[in-house]
Chains A and B, each alone.
Chain A
Amino acid sequence: NAGVTQTPKFRVLKTGQSMTLLCAQDMNHEYMYWYRQDPGMGLRLIHYSVGEGTTAKGEVPDGYNVSRLKKQNFLLGLESAAPSQTSVYFCASSSQGELYGYTFGSGTRLTVV
């Protein structure tokens, strides 16, 4: 089925560990986004990309890095995980950015202990 696939679905990290979240879309979308969702905070944009090889900072980029080496993939890295990064992470893609609706993945639930 066409859509956005996120891996892994769940992960527990120890403080200071690193990890990479993978987002893959098969809709040939130019725009891709990483969000985090926390209770009472809503969705907050971490980083985004407007095309292969491009990335830009969102609202809460500190502690995260991203790469978009291939159009279909958008990777989110945590360099040194902290408990404050415990959250549900969502990847989304769009054909024309905010002028069209976003397609979301099913999320990655990350716990940092």
Chain B
Amino acid sequence: SQQGEEDPQALSIQEGENATMNCSYKTSINNLQWYRQNSGRGLVHLILIRSNEREKHSGRLRVTLDTSKKSSSLLITASRAADTASYFCATVPRAGNNRKLIWGLGTSLAVNP
């Protein structure tokens, strides 16, 4: 039941650079969420963006949503080694009563010192 598809699967950048990850999905959504998972740890909620929103910011994170293209992007500015993690998008379908989160497979980000 995978809906979100992150791109790229893996990304390696230098500290200080910006990192952009993309998420595409298939059906209309209520909202889209981004999570971070450090190696061996649980997921941490980063940002939730609703279908009527186009952009949200949280610190060094910027999320955009284009419902016409069914896609979202997560931008991390001025990356740090501590940003090394896997990043997942999850969508909540608009239709139906069972509006559970549908997860993508994630983007693995490596930030090199």
Contacts and interface: CB of A to CB of B under 8 A. Distances in A.
Given A42-B2, A42-B106, A43-B103, A101 B33 contact: yes
A45 interface: yes
A107 B41 contact: yes
A104 B103 CA distance: 14
Contacts of B40: 107
| Interface size bracket, B side | 20 to 34
Contacts of B31: 98-99
A105 B42 contact: yes
Contact of B100 (A41, A58, A100, A106): A58
Given A42-B106, A90-B43, A102 B30 contact: no
A59 B42 contact: no
B40 to A, nearest CB: 8
B42 A104 contact: yes
Given A43-B103, A104-B43, A106-B42, A99 B1 contact: no
| Interface size bracket, A side | 20 to 34
Contacts of B63: none
Contacts, number: 52
B44 interface: yes
Secondary structure type dominating chain A contacts: mixed
A98 B99 contact: yes
Contacts of A97: 99
A42 B2 CA distance: 8
A96 to B, nearest CB: 11
B45 interface: yes
A104 B44 contact: yes
B57 to A, nearest CB: 16
Nearest to B41: A106
Given A43-B103, A90-B43, A92-B43, 6 more contacts: A40-B105, A48-B100, A101-B45, A102-B45, A104-B35, A107-B41
Top 5 A-B residue pairs of the complex, sorted by shortest distance between their CB atoms: A101-B45, A104-B42, A43-B103, A98-B92, A104-B43
